[in-house]
């Protein structure tokens, strides 16, 4: 059994391979080829400290991610998300690897968004809007740039200095409001820990695609009811029904799991449709990404 730290994990993941792996894993999930319960979340301190346990059996490998979500760490220099993944062989139960899961969480989340953006967003889309300027904003900029070429990137944060720093570091434009970031954007990412909506549906360009990846708690939300009245897709209906405040509070009908679209079970929405992908994050994504890391390590 091997142990891989954060730097080792990052060195062994490539966006193109990871995006394809997420599409395949989610197609398998929606076909029923994956064993995976909804994650167990223990509230240590409401709105401040949470522990999640996420197991899955994915073909010849199985694993579990222990993940901490600590909003209390924001602004302290510590990550709000930390994780460890343990990977085993399905046939024998023998352990294969233990690895840092924070980078996997970061990258697989963005890779899933990239896979569905590749499928749904217009090929000639030019403007990307990022609401949030942290780890997920950076990862989404990298992953989405692997599937679409953006001529303009806008970033907004509730802390203006954070948006300005992100803009300097990544060649983006810092927006002075969420609305000015979103108006006219072809692809929008919401990656915040908002408890109340930061994105209004009235701002969305017809035909835009939204990747909503933050605020995965049943009483938190990033999008208002008008935004959620568009064509809504999720990674898991079961998980969204108990974890996704954006879906639950708005009582938004779900068009499809993204794996159903990847598997060809459901057709993609019409190109003119405004689409919203609400991500809560699944163990199948973590195990599939961890498998890539372990295979790359064995091939060294």
Give residue for tokens 């000639």.
124
Residue 28: φ, ψ to 5°: -60, -40
6 membership: H or E segment, kind and range: helix 6-11
Q: Residues 174-211: pLDDT tens digits?
A: 999 999 999 999 999 999 999 999 999 999 999 999 99
What are the C-alpha distances in Å from 278 to residues 51, 55, 267?
21, 21, 18
Compute the residue count for the chain: 300
Q: What residue ranges define each of the domains in the chain, with the CATH number in brackets?
A: 2-104+284-298 (3.30.1780.10), 108-281 (3.40.50.720)
Count CB-CB contacts under 10 A for residue 17.
15
Whose CA is closest to 269, among 208, 185, 223, 183? 208
**In DSSP terms, which residues pair with 66 in a beta bridge?**
53, 84
The pLDDT value recorded for residue 300 is 79
Considering only residues 75 and 233, tell me which one the structure prediction assigns the higher pLDDT: 233
Identify the pLDDT of residue 80: 92
Which 8-state DSSP code applies to residue 121? S
> Average pLDDT, stretch 108-123?
97
Q: Is the pLDDT of residue 288 over 90?
A: yes
The pLDDT, as a whole number, for residue 46 is 93
Average pLDDT, the chain: 97
Per-residue model confidence (pLDDT) at position 75:
86
Residues 26/153, Cβ–Cβ less than 8 Å: no
Regarding pTM above 0.85, the answer is yes
């Amino acid at each position: 059994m091997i142990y891989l730290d954060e730097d080792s994990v990052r060195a062994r993941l490539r966006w193109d391979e990871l995006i394809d792996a997420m599409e395949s894993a989610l197609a398998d999930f929606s076909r029923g080829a994956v064993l995976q319960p909804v994650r167990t979340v223990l509230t240590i301190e409401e709105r401040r400290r949470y522990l999640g346990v996420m197991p899955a059996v994915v073909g010849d490998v199985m694993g579990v991610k222990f993940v901490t979500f600590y909003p209390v760490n924001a602004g302290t220099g510590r990550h709000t998300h930390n994780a460890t993944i343990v990977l085993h062989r399905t046939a024998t139960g023998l352990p294969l690897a233990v690895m840092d899961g924070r980078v996997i969480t970061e990258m697989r989340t963005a890779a899933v968004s990239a896979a569905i953006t590749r499928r749904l967003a217009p090929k000639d889309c030019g403007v990307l809007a990022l609401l949030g300027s942290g780890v997920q904003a950076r990862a989404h900029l990298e992953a989405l740039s692997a599937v679409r070429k953006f001529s303009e990137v806008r970033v907004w944060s509730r802390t203006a200095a954070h948006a300005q720093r992100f803009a300097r570091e990544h060649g983006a434009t810092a927006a002075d409001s969420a609305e000015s970031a979103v108006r006219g954007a072809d692809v929008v990412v919401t990656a915040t820990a908002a408890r109340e909506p930061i994105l209004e549906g009235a701002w969305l360009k017809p035909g835009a695609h939204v990747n909503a990846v933050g605020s995965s708690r049943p009483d938190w939300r990033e999008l208002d009811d008008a935004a959620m009245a568009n064509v809504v897709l999720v990674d898991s209906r079961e998980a969204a029904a108990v974890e996704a405040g954006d879906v639950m509070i708005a009582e938004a009908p779900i068009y499809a799991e993204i794996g159903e679209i990847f598997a060809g079970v459901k057709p993609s929405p019409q190109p003119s449709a405004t689409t919203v992908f609400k991500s809560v994050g699944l163990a199948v994504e973590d195990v599939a990404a961890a498998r890539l890391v372990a295979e790359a390590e064995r091939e060294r």
